[in-house]
Amino acid sequence: MIENRLLIQFIAVAEELHFNRAAQRLHMAQPPLSQAIRRLEQELGVSLFERTNRSVSLTPAGINFLESAREVLRVLDEGVEKTRRVSQGIEGHLTLTFISIAGYTPLLRALREFRTAYPAITFTMLEATTQEQTEALEQGRADLGFMRTPGRSAPGLRFDTILREPVMLALPATHRLAQCETLHLSAFRSDLFVSAPRHLGQGFHDQLIQLCGAAGFRPHISQQARQLQTLVALVASGFGIALLPASMANETREDVIFRPFRVDAPAGLQHVELLMGWNAHSTSLIRDKLIEKIHKVMALSAD
């Protein structure tokens, strides 16, 4: 393998076309420089210079190698600089996974401010269920995830609650109780419900079942859908009612009414959390900077 030092010495001679001037430029004696160029030619098996008593010129092979040597050093310099920038947390790549976050304005603002502050950091954004996100974090396929409470323990993963919001009833605008301001969940024991499948979000799914259980019934789930927006569309189409995070009410619709409800259940059961999760076993300065930004913006929005 050719040393970078030899490439630097070759480029100096090729540009000066004079061994003594090249040696002065490199702050070295001329004989060691001449020996280095001969060693380089031996390693390549070609002559790079035509030498006479009065002049030095590049051979055709030398002209070609000069271009290659400059490119090798350029790529190396860029790689070294990028490595430094990555180590400083100002360049790199992050893969984020998330459930629907369209309604979480502070979180979106934090991501926007981070991208503005660190334009050299690129992102891959993947929408996924809570179960899929925990698996991606455990397997190192994601750096940071935004999800509901996992339905199983996830050793090695760390979770921070960044937002807590009430659970609300989503009703078709034509529902018999849609215009009532005060509702008790028990009034909906005979209604059909739409929900996400349990295997895609066990924690949130079980929470909703427990809420209905506290109201004295088990919900009859008529349809299931992967995404919360799809559940809202199913409610609008009359397939049933749904228990959804309050943030889903941020999107104005005329065909779906969101209402708070009363139920004799612990306060914690009547709220849902948005968690930020990451793998504590992996290190990433840029990930940690994003976590810090999100915490800061979310804290300011809560004041």
Rounded to whole angstroms, the Cα distance separating 222 from 216 reads 19
* % of the chain surpassing 90 pLDDT: 53
Q: Within the chain, where are the H helices? A: 4-16, 19-25, 30-44, 60-87, 105-117, 130-138, 202-214, 228-236, 285-302
**pLDDT for the residue 227:** 82
Question: Which of these ranges, 81-95, 97-111, 234-248, 262-276, has the smallest mean pLDDT?
Answer: 81-95
The CA-based angle 146-147-150, given to 5 degrees, is: 140
**Residue 279: CA count within 13 A, CB half-sphere:** 18
pLDDT tens by residue, 176-229: 999 998 899 999 999 999 998 887 767 778 888 999 999 999 999 999 988 888
| Whether residue 276 has pLDDT greater than 80 | yes
96 pLDDT more than 90: yes
pLDDT classification of 249: cutoffs 50, 70, 90: confident
The 10s digit of each residue's pLDDT in 25-52 is 999 999 998 998 999 999 899 999 998 8
The pLDDT > 70 percentage for the chain reads: 95
234: pLDDT strictly greater than 80: yes
Which domains are present in the chain?
Answer: 4-87 (1.10.10.10), 92-162+274-302 (3.40.190.10), 164-271 (3.40.190.10)
List the one residue out of 91, 108, 89 whose CA is nearest residue 100: 108
Is pTM, for the whole model, over 0.75? no
Rg, C-alpha atoms of the chain: 32
